[in-house]
Amino acid sequence: MIDSDLFEAARAWLAQDPDDETRSELSALIEAAGSGDTSALDDLRDRFETRLAFGTAGLRGEIAAGPNRMNRVLVSQAAAGLAAYLIERAVDGDPTSIVIGYDGRKNSAVFATDTAEIMAGAGIRAILLPRLLPTPLVAFAVRHLDVSAGVMVTASHNPPNDNGYKVYLGGIDQGSQIVSPADAEIATHILRIAAEENVLELPRSDAYEIAPESVVEAYISQTAELASRPAVQPKVVYTAMHGVGWQTFRAVLEAAGFDEPTVVRQQIDPDSAFPTVSFPNPEEPGALDLAFRTAREVDADLVIANDPDADRLAIAIRDSSSPATFRALTGNEVGALLGWRAAENLDAAARDEQTASGTLACSIVSSPALRAVAAEYGLEFAETLTGFKWVSRTPGLAFGFEEALGYLVNPSTVRDKDGISAALALLDLASGLAARGLTLDDQLDAFSMRFGHFASGQVSVRVTDLSQITRVMARLRAEPPAEIGGIRVSSIDDLLGADGVLPSSDVLRIHLDDGSRVMVRPSGTEPKLKVYLDTQSSDGTLDERRTAAAEALSRLEEGVRALIAE
């Protein structure tokens, strides 16, 4: 884009921007760039020489002016494009409808209202959730209200100045997130709107509905049914990470008969500035420090944390080697515990029929531990590509998880990861164990003895030049390794190309002679090459299994770092 075109595009954007803040910001940027400020000119180019791509994760980015940022112009174009897609997709005679939710981030309510007005203006029945609510409420409402689609305005656990736009589909999609080819078809409509329409002239209407509180109440009552009445009340500390999880989680706990936990007061109310954390993701170092401090003060048994939109769950327990400290469980550990619980429940429900049925599913980068559980109980097991848009679509799904703190424990109700229902399921498990004098740590040990001990690790390499990742992936394909960390490679699955089971994806799955596994893939959201390591041991005592798996993991990590070094 030459500079004259750049300034023309920026001024055209400015002319249709309904937001005072971003309009003022862009006006100042245009003036600075036009006065010869090179950094301003570079900033303008970054904003206008490309645009945020609409994909299977919808939209997500920093709030600011321009097509490569999140703002009211971009969201209005997305809403109009999605409306055109829904109308095109509708079966003759069937009404088109959408439910829209939003969290507590900056501009979430504004973006949601813009969407509702544009949908209503396009003749679509638009239903706006009654207040800021967790993401799982939208996934639930799509099915509960039997609508054509859903939109959740959230950037989940991204940095404070980000926001996003997540889309779900009803009908045969059962309230799951969009996948290909829907993403590309919606994107085509969005680009057409952006090229042909001024968002200030798009038809709008305030004739949208506000969903009744009964929608929230139905989610609460159906989620509460996942737990038995607690025989023992674990002592819990809860943090919402400055997000929207607390009101809904508290209501679910009350309905299920659990005591109200001690909350991390500094983080319990929605706050779009996220003042106590540098990065509002419970996986990030330091994010749970306030929760750990509170847990020590009240002598809690465990810590429960939701991310800001409450679709993810983090759990921390007392460290058995140092009871005064708490350690966060990995997503794979929580997935193993909840998967075992799901298998037990299926087995118990099927005793009259002799054989349990159902499918346990996880993404390909998650621990193989769930496969071992499924085999033990005679259940189906499925691996999917990364992302709950794939996990949630597994036929016969009974439980699904991803190592990045995502769990689906109630697929008959919600077809997406749900940090609130997962927290209740975990609390139900902890209560049942406590009634027998056991802890979650004891259950992890029991898992290792029954199914084998599984250890997982990850190597991430951040790059400044994306071609580095392309070169590494090409080299691994052209010159596949014979061994990694001294362990012989037995086979390699290249998922770049349809294999009849998984859609094509830029992933290498490397199997080793000792049962270990290495997964190599470019990150879908960051400039990183990500490598997932999994080892296991089923021989000897618990300590011997732990040691063997840990040693194999250490060898793999060393070998992988050498393998991917340029």
Buried b (16+ CB within 10 A) or exposed e, 61-84: bbbbbbbbbbbbbbbbbbbbbbbb
Mean pLDDT within 257-269 = 98
Q: How does DSSP assign 177-204, residue by residue?
A: EP-TTHHHHHHHHHHHHHHH--GGGS--
**Cα–Cα distance, 476 to 508 (Å, whole number):** 9
Angle between helical axes of 542-564 and 467-478 (0-180°, round to 10): 110
Does the pLDDT at position 355 exceed 70? Answer: no
Mean pLDDT within 90-111 = 93
Contact of 391 with 362, CB cutoff 8 Å: yes
CATH of 53-211, one of 3.40.120.10, 1.20.120.530, 3.30.230.10, 3.90.1150.10: 3.40.120.10
Q: pTM surpassing 0.85?
A: yes
User: Is residue 156 annotated as a catalytic residue, yes or no?
Assistant: yes
* 47 Cβ contact list (under 8 Å, min separation 6): 10, 64, 65, 66, 67, 68, 69
Does the pLDDT at position 323 exceed 80? Answer: no
Contact of 252 with 424, CB cutoff 8 Å: yes
Q: What is the mean pLDDT of the chain?
A: 94
**Cα–Cα distance, 547 to 560 (Å, whole number):** 20
End-to-end CA distance of the chain: 33
Q: Which residue has the higher pLDDT, 102 or 94?
A: 102
349 pLDDT tier (thresholds 50, 70, 90): confident
Mean pLDDT within 325-333 = 96
Buried b (16+ CB within 10 A) or exposed e, 250-277: bbbbebbebeebbbbebbbebbbebebb
Does the pLDDT at position 528 exceed 70? Answer: yes
Q: Where are the domains of the chain?
A: 1-49, 53-211, 225-436, 452-564
Please list the residues that pair with 371 across neighbouring strands: none
At residue 91, the pLDDT reads: 78
**Cα–Cα distance, 166 to 182 (Å, whole number):** 13
Please list the residues that pair with 316 across neighbouring strands: 303, 328
Q: What is the CATH number of domain 452-564?
A: 3.30.310.50
DSSP symbol at 94: P
**Cα–Cα distance, 33 to 347 (Å, whole number):** 66
At residue 519, the pLDDT reads: 94
Catalytic member of 97, 148, 156, 516: 156
Q: What is the dihedral of CA 274, 278, 281, 283, to 10 degrees?
A: -150
CATH topology match: 53-211 vs 225-436? yes
At residue 94, the pLDDT reads: 80
How far CA 508 is from CA of 139, 483, 497, in Å, comes to 31, 14, 11
At residue 321, the pLDDT reads: 77
Q: pLDDT tens, 391-449?
A: 999 999 999 999 999 999 999 999 999 999 999 999 999 999 999 999 999 999 999 99
Is it true that domain 225-436 has CATH number 3.60.40.10?
no
Q: pLDDT tens, 118-150?
A: 999 999 999 999 999 999 999 999 999 999 999
> CA nearest 238: which of 294, 185, 305?
305
57 pLDDT tier (thresholds 50, 70, 90): confident
Alpha helices in 436-504 (DSSP H): 440-451, 467-478
At residue 354, the pLDDT reads: 61
Mean pLDDT within 450-463 = 93
Q: pLDDT tens, 493-516?
A: 999 875 667 888 899 999 999 999
At residue 499, the pLDDT reads: 60
